[in-house]
Amino acid sequence: MAVIHRTALKPTKLELLTSWLPSRPWYVGGAGGPELAKAGGFRLDDPEGEVGIEFLVVNDTSDSLPVTYLVPLTYRGAPLDGAEHALVGTMEHGVLGRRWAYDGCHDPLMAAQLTALVEGRVQAQDQNTSDVPDREVTRSCTGDGSAPTDFTVGATDDREGTELPAPQGTTLRLHRVLRPAPDHEPFPPPQAIGHVAGSWQLPDGTRTRGLLVVLHSGSRAQDHAADVDIPA
């Protein structure tokens, strides 16, 4: 179980993301840099209790049309070998000391726990309170228990999201630019074999809901443009 500490972070998560987001292929903001505010998210537990796993949702209001991003982060007490390219930055935690924050899509632990969430083997946890499930996060998986767990190498970014492949041909696709789902939109989309959906707050204070993660039985790298029409 993750323990949520009420303490200061220097720099804050939003400060780290302000400098990191513009380097991402899916960032759609202008040259002036993002203006970020927390909009929601959830956590997953590390079975060993060592690594923080957070799916952070942020609103960027730097442009006339606000954008919402999904940013999975892992927080570690030491550098992750071979993940220098995925380092978002380091923070000083008031209780735990120095923490290395990584883009979770390149962290094998996050990939494994996200797969477990899709399958229903673990439950999403509240972002701000210890040992409280997040009931707004929903999931499904056709043939629960059969999804591969080795989404560990080769995560690739494109203009809409990040794709994690598995050797069996299955892919996990994380939507990075989130969009509210129309009331009639089914979860999961018809072509998916699994999904994760969640809720967040828009800049005007409205609570909305959409698709966060989709599990596909084959690679979506060639036709990811189709995902643009799937609310996320």
Cβ-Cβ contacts under 8 Å for 40 (sequence gap 6 or more)? 57, 127, 198, 199, 200, 201
Residue 15 parent element (H or E):
helix 13-20
Range 21-50 average pLDDT: 93
Task: Tell me the sheet residues that pair with 40.
Answer: 57
Respond yes or no on whether the N-terminal peptide bond of residue 167 is cis (omega within 30° of 0).
no
Instruction: Give pLDDT tens digits for 109-161.
Output: 999 999 999 999 999 999 988 889 999 999 998 865 555 556 656 789 999 89
Rg (CA), the chain: 17
Please state, for a pLDDT cut of 70, what percent of the chain lies above it: 82
Confidence of residue 51 (pLDDT cuts 50, 70, 90): very high
Q: E strands of 34-179, at which residues?
A: 36-44, 52-60, 67-76, 87-93, 97-103, 138-141, 156-157, 161-165, 171-175, 177-178
What's the half-sphere exposure (Cβ side, CA atoms, 13 Å) at 115?
Answer: 22
Per-residue pLDDT at 61 exceeds 50: yes
Cβ-Cβ contacts under 8 Å for 21 (sequence gap 6 or more)? 27, 29, 34, 36, 60, 69, 71
Alpha-helical regions (H) of 101-206: 108-119
> Residue 32 has what pLDDT?
84
Per-residue pLDDT at 72 exceeds 80: yes
Lowest mean per-residue pLDDT among 124-138, 179-193, 209-223: 209-223
Confidence of residue 182 (pLDDT cuts 50, 70, 90): confident
> Residue 88 has what pLDDT?
97
Q: Are 69 and 90 in contact (CB under 8 A)?
A: no
Distance CA 151, CA 5 (A): 29
Per-residue pLDDT at 165 exceeds 90: no
Joined tokens for residue 165: 């492949």
**64 vs 101, residue with greater confidence:** 101
Range 71-85 average pLDDT: 95
> Residue 147 has what pLDDT?
56
Residue 36, exposed/middle/buried by CB under 10 A (0-12, 13-18, 19+)? buried
> Residue 124 has what pLDDT?
97
